[in-house]
Chain A
Amino acid sequence: MLQDILVTGLVNGGVYALLAIGFSLIFGVARIVNIAHTGFYMVSAYLLYTLLNLARLNFFLSFLLAVAAVTLLSVICYKLVIEPVRQHEAAVLIATIALGLIFQESLLRIFGGHFRGNPAILEGAVEIAGVSVSYQQLLTLAVVAVVLIATWLLLHHTRLGLAIRATANDLEVANLMGMNVHRVAMLTVAISAMLAAVAGAVVAPLIVVDPFMWLSPLITVLAVVVLGGLGSIKGSMIGAFIIGYAEVLTVFLVPTGAFLKGAVSLSIMVIVLLLRPEGLFGVAFEEER
């Protein structure tokens, strides 16, 4: 049983981490709580579905097209909807909620309320320590590792990364130093949506594709990033694995309470917040002021 818990928790945590990193990035830089983040993930999963099954393209091409299209969509959304109301915090908030709803309802209208399945990129499963793990789940872990390294390289070894970190640290000073903070914000939105799109393409084969698939990961992602500390990528990673293991432990220890796994992870988030109001690795409030 122990090996089941260890392996399954790792796999689940990896999935959550992939989604949480992008969400965390956009909050850290632009201070946008992007409720539509998992909406981009959903759109990507649907695009992949359409390209594969209706346009009958090969997987690699579909993947690239889906990610590119979602990235473009995010920039358009940002320019049209978010930027004009950037100074009104409340308006940004419901703008992203409304965007999520628009994605949901558009997909519902186009594809109907049917459940769909995306094919796995890698078929089959392998036994690790006597536990069956599908290749797709291993791939997710690999993608998480790649995304993490790429994000780290981007943030710490490029000029854009420097600008992003500077903006995240102090928007006004960054602006005064002559950085185009709007462009930085837009680029961050694009990167964040791109990560969501990659997640959509990689994770969707593990789950069911339907117009409401953005809501449940949204809750988990929110729990993960709040737990880890808003805006902290390291925190999101660790938070993802905490939640992943918490869920698996619930299922294994209380099988008849498996439905409680969401409630359990949310309770853990609340408890952590009670002890550390800024999350595990978040920026303390006094600095934010």
Chain B
Amino acid sequence: MRRYTVVPARRLGFLVRKEILVLPSRTLVGVFSLGLILLPWFSNDPYLLRVVILSSIFAIYAASWDLLAGYSGQVSFGHALFFGVGGYGSALLNYHLGWTPWLTIVIGAGVAMVAGFLVGIPCLRLRGSYLSLATLAFPLILTGLLFTIPELSGGELGISGIRPLVRSRVGYYYIAVGAMLAVCFALWKIGNSNTGLILHAIREDEVAVRASGINTVRYRLLAFSLSALGAGFAGALFAHFIRVIGPSTLEVALSFQAVIWGIFGGVASIYGPVAGVFVLYPLTEAMSLVRELSEYRLLIFAIVVLLVLLFMPEGVAPWVRDKLEIRCPRCKVRNVVTRATCHICEAPLR
């Protein structure tokens, strides 16, 4: 467990120094966040901003998958369900009732959370590959249902003509990036809290957790609901950015994307999947800028994923972290790799 010192708000500098700059991985995250916030000062190229906005939205989606799959070990193959439900929920309310997107996005995410809870119930009885493969079914069943009510769902066209959250690209950029940073920080906090610890334990040995008097049912459902909340929020943001929500958001391909981003970045870390998205998504887009590569980009994407995994089977982010930091053998706190002794307990690191 990491240690947290309670710091008065006025000493922000102290906080930055002691909590962020102390570890290279946190410094990286800080620099990354700051970079995102400052980016529009250097370029307001709408295309560049669009790619970052979409990356941010998908980062929320991938990070929410991580809470469910990485922490609690319920590897969902149908995460697109929550993305789609959030998007459709928000779009339907906005389009048919004319409510403001600011409200419908929240409701859409809430609907997704309910969906997560409902899907979580049958999944309580399942484990491992059975759970993965069963979850794969849910978005496809929903797609079938949507096609039976085209008056409401728009069938294969989906719903178009939904209102954007804000008109200006930079405005949307700050909403998406801000939401991404906030949601991911919250998810990371949950992951490092007692709840996160219990989820870790459930993944490793559920029977043992139950034997310790913990209601694992409650925690597994909690993981499902929270994760669905995040994914639904991402889906709703996506719908109001693209301004169309259709059955393509429920496709197997999008469910698999979450798995790929998550595992590529490194599971059970939250920042791993975020890194996964921010490496892979812009990389794929950058390839489409080069005419010769553009039609090969998915092939290259798959090969890159495969090759990187061979060298970093734990994912990119943990690999980078382990190169930069070393764990104190005595108090388990992480230290800069250059230090000889632990910065907390002063035990020799090697």
Contacts and interface: CB of A to CB of B under 8 A. Distances in A.
Interface residues of A, number: 49
B36 to A, nearest CB: 26
Given A85-B310, A222-B133, A94 B144 contact: no
A49 interface: no
Which of A84, A98, A257, A260 has the most B CB atoms < 10 Å from its CB? A98
B122 A274 contact: yes
Interface in A265-284: 266-267, 269-270, 273-274, 277-279, 282
Contact of B310 (A84, A223, A274, A288): A84
B136 A91 contact: no
A80 to B, nearest CB: 8
B306 A88 contact: no
Given A101-B298, A277-B125, A91 B313 contact: yes
A278 B130 contact: yes
Interface in A241-283: 257, 259-260, 262-264, 266-267, 269-270, 273-274, 277-279, 282
A215 B252 contact: yes
A279 B259 CA distance: 24
Which of B130, B140, B267 has the most A CB atoms < 10 Å from its CB? B130
A159 interface: no
A87 to B, nearest CB: 8
A269 B134 contact: yes
B263 interface: yes
Contacts of A186: none
Interface residues of B, number: 42
Nearest to B145: A263
Given A223-B137, A267-B141, A273 B125 contact: yes
Which of A90, A101, A270, A285 has the most B CB atoms < 10 Å from its CB? A90
Contacts, number: 121
Interface of B: 75, 122, 125-130, 132-134, 136-138, 140-141, 143-145, 147-148, 207, 252, 256, 259-260, 263-264, 267, 295-296, 298-299, 301-303, 305-306, 309-310, 313-314
Closest 10 CB pairs of A and B: A263-B144, A105-B299, A266-B137, A101-B302, A277-B125, A88-B313, A91-B313, A98-B306, A94-B263, A102-B302
11 contacts: A27-B129, A91-B309, A93-B75, A93-B263, A98-B260, A101-B298, A222-B133, A222-B136, A230-B129, A266-B141, A269-B134
Given A81-B306, A101-B298, A269-B137, 18 more contacts: A27-B129, A31-B129, A33-B129, A33-B133, A91-B263, A93-B263, A98-B303, A101-B301, A102-B299, A109-B295, A219-B137, A222-B136, A260-B144, A260-B147, A270-B122, A270-B138, A270-B141, A273-B125
